[in-house]
Amino acid sequence: MTDHEGERRDLAAMLQPLVRNLIAAELPVLAAHGVSMWGYAVLNALDGEPMRTQAALAQSIGADKTRIIGTLDELQEAGLIERTPDPDDRRVRLLAITAKGRRVRRAVQSAIWANEDRLLAAIPEPDRAAFLRVTRTLSALPREEIVGSHEPKA
């Protein structure tokens, strides 16, 4: 596939600077709400799915299950999530977002989306809708489909 300037760049090479800058734009918003990037990922994962185990949560957001503990501690101390022992297995902790956590998540998301809307306004509406549709489709692909046979063997 080519574009009007010749060979196109790799997707990662095109998207990485954009993602890096989007993250940089999100950091002050997150800080203003007292949430880390991982904390925001946790709140997003828990909103809509009331309870899940810490291991399942870590897997769903691509975090190491041992390293996510500190983030969960911070969120719990701030009253944004609850961790309760699973009645069927006391070694397992079930997670739920609190009403306060839901308010913080929505406030953060609103501020992030406002900046994204500002950026997207530079793109003509039909292209903007197509970009969002394609981005949604690609981001929903399972890791195995993206990595394919290129993933290093353990």
Q: What string of DSSP letters covers 84-122?
A: EEETTEEEEEEEEE-HHHHHHHHHHHHHHHHHHHHHHTT
- Tokens found for residue 54: 């810490």
Domain-embedded: residue 145: no
Owner of token pair 């701030």: 78
Any idea what the CATH number is for the domain that residue 103 is in? 1.10.10.10
User: Would you give the DSSP letter of residue 149?
Assistant: G
99, β-bridge pairs: none
Number of domains in the chain: 1
Domain-embedded: residue 120: yes
Domain-embedded: residue 28: yes
pLDDT for 74-97, tens place per residue?
999 999 999 988 888 888 888 999
- Tokens found for residue 94: 């079930």
Domain-embedded: residue 151: no
pLDDT for 21-67, tens place per residue?
999 999 999 999 999 999 999 999 999 776 678 888 888 888 988 88
pTM of the model: 0.83
Q: Which domain holds residue 122?
A: 23-140
Domain-embedded: residue 16: no
